[in-house]
């Protein structure tokens, strides 16, 4: 497993990030623990979660599962870069959500307790909060860093101009600011190439794509259309909308002799802006299968064929639509 610096930091993370959103809902606790143990065996040291994962409001079920896994010891905590998030609804009160200093501080304490750790390595804003001033957000984050409760701060689901706005506010305070952005990014959704990826490159943020397989659509959806999440109405509509592209896509993967899921992950790994796509296995076998994507080398011709099937916006703004 190769490791890269997370953005402009000195911190090194694995080329895949272990997403834990399935823990507690689609993977029970013993299975979740087995997945994390296997991740360590594979050299995967970057684990991502959120305080809202687990399906029960305010309970942080997924963080609790990770916390009990960490409590087993054996160097587990020392071997991983642990990321979680703040923003989502954690209670019924008006201040139990978003990015007020009040909520950030309380949410961090809750995550630390559930995870059973003293420090969160990467504390990510799960969404932009247009109603809270950046001065307030950075004051809270800076205090958490000074207290040793957070090491780095990241964003998720930010537009390019939000990254600029947030980073410039941090610079004015003399803070390190954002070190990563977690964005929806896959072959069928390449909007971030317009402005988010250029902003990340300009400010030295690592890019952590979520939903790299488009909810399973890019993982052989036509051949497995009636299985799992693909059987939902929403996913069936997406498959129908992209059916001609999926036919070409799966034919290309067949010609390459590789599973579509692994080719889709490999494509992301070939994008220079990407640090670590998030993989969300529900079983140990799925985790093992994902690792084969690291061995796939896509040449320029194949990357061109993929772009022809799944065209992006045409590059970064403004050249993508102007000159």
How many other CB atoms are found less than 10 A from the CB of residue 135? 12
C-alpha–C-alpha distance, residues 126 and 130, integer Å: 13
Residue 46 CA to chain centroid, in angstroms? Answer: 10
> Catalytic residue numbers?
53
Rounded to 10 deg, the angle between the 233-241 and 243-256 helix axes is 80
Given CA atoms 213, 217, 223, 224 in this order, what sign does their dihedral have? positive
3-class state of residue 216 by DSSP: helix
- Do 298 and 306 meet the contact criterion of CB atoms below 8 Å apart? yes
Domains and CATH numbers, the chain: 3-221+260-309 (3.20.20.100)
Could you tell me where the beta strands, DSSP code E, fall in the chain?
A: 3-5, 12-14, 17-19, 46-48, 81-86, 120-125, 150-156, 178-184, 206-210, 278-279
287 closest CA partner among 24, 36, 11: 36
| pLDDT at 229 (0 to 100) | 55
Residue 52 CA to chain centroid, in angstroms? Answer: 14
Ranges of the chain with pLDDT below 70: 225-231
| pLDDT at 235 (0 to 100) | 82
- Do 294 and 269 meet the contact criterion of CB atoms below 8 Å apart? yes
Pairing of strands 81-86, 46-48: parallel
| pLDDT at 224 (0 to 100) | 76
Note the helical H segments in 181-322. 196-203, 233-241, 243-256, 260-269, 284-291, 300-309
| pLDDT at 236 (0 to 100) | 86
- Record the pTM: 0.96
């Amino acid at each position: 497993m190769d490791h890269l610096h997370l953005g402009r930091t000195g911190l090194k993370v694995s080329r895949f990030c272990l997403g834990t959103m399935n823990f507690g809902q689609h993977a029970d606790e013993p299975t979740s623990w087995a997945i994390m143990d296997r991740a360590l065996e594979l050299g995967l040291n970057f684990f991502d979660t959120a305080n809202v994962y687990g399906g029960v409001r305010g309970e942080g079920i997924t963080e609790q599962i990770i916390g009990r896994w960490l409590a087993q010891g054996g160097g587990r905590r020392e071997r991983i870069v642990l990321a979680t998030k703040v923003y989502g609804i954690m209670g019924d009160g008006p201040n139990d959500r978003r990015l007020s200093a009040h909520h950030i501080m309380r949410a961090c304490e809750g995550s630390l307790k559930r995870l059973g750790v003293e420090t969160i390595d990467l504390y990510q804003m799960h969404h932009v909060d247009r109603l809270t001033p950046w001065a307030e957000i950075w004051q809270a984050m800076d205090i958490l860093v000074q207290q040793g409760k957070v090491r780095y701060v990241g964003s998720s689901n930010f537009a390019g101009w939000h990254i600029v706005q947030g980073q410039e506010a941090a610079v004015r305070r003399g803070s390190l600011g954002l070190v990563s952005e977690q964005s929806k990014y896959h072959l069928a959704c390449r909007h971030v190439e317009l402005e988010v990826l250029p902003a990340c490159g300009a400010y030295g943020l690592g890019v952590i794509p979520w939903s790299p397989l488009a909810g399973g659509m890019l993982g052989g959806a036509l051949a497995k259309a009636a299985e799992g999440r693909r059987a939902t109405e929403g996913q069936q509509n997406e498959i129908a909308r992209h059916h001609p592209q999926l036919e070409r896509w799966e034919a290309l993967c067949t010609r390459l002799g590789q599973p579509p899921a692994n080719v889709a992950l490999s494509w992301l790994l070939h994008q220079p802006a990407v640090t670590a796509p998030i993989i969300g296995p529900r079983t140990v076998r799925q985790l093992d299968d994902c690792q084969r994507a690291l061995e796939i080398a896509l040449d320029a011709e194949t990357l061109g064929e993929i772009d022809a099937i799944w065209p992006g916006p045409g590059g970064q703004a403004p050249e993508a639509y102007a000159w």
